[in-house]
Amino acid sequence: MKIRQLRKQLETERKIALRRFERHRRKNLLATPGDLPFVIVLDRLKPAFNIGKIFRSAEAFGAREVHLIGIDFFDPAPAMGSFKWVPARFHESFETCYQDLKARHYALFTLEPERGKPLPATALPRRSAFIFGHEEFGLSFDPRDFDGICPLRIPQLGKVQSLNVSVAASLVMYEYFRQHGAQLDVSP
């Protein structure tokens, strides 16, 4: 396929995803908070398939809401409908998200592969907010500039020492659910 054809195909796919996003975003305005008081923060992630997958996991594990920083749109198709169930809050910068979450007494955690306490060894507060950065560029801010942000890491054995962001988010949500969701009746 020639480069011009590939660009045209990508632009067409982007337009379709944008229309799908706008349709789903209107439905998201009616979303109600999940059963558990934890929040996911996505800091300038690529608008490809990871954001939708994270919404899918957030809905499965009962997240209160998902905050999106510097993300104008994403393709909601990988969310399998979950974007309409989990409230989304959009921010242009991390500062506004931070102020909102701190005012609501959330403990904030970043996920960093090489620093911080191991996730399974950490007692997570009920009101936790987990911040995930861009897979290639990391966070758009320096966590040391914001009071009270604690780094966590997911222990790994491999040499790569990084996980896909949607996989990492799912693991964090599962650990939170393991610690705080046991009191919920989730039987069929």
Q: Express each pLDDT in 127-148 by its tens digit.
A: 999 999 998 889 999 999 999 9
Query: What crossing angle do the helices spanning 165-180 and 49-60 adopt, rounded to 10°?
Result: 10
The CATH number of 3-180 is 3.40.1280.10
Q: What is the DSSP secondary structure assignment for residue 58, as one 8-state letter?
A: H
Tokens describing residue 10: 């990508």
How far from the centroid of its chain's Cα atoms is residue 146's Cα? Answer: 19
Q: Specify the pTM.
A: 0.89
Residue type, 38: F
Q: Which residue has the higher pLDDT, 157 or 161?
A: 157
Domain definitions of the chain by residue range? 3-180
| CA 88/CA 150 separation, integer angstroms | 23
Taking Cα atoms as reference points, which of 175, 166, 143, 186 lies closest to residue 66? 166
The residues facing 129 across adjacent strands are 39, 108
Q: What is the pLDDT of residue 185?
A: 63
Q: What is the pLDDT of residue 176?
A: 97
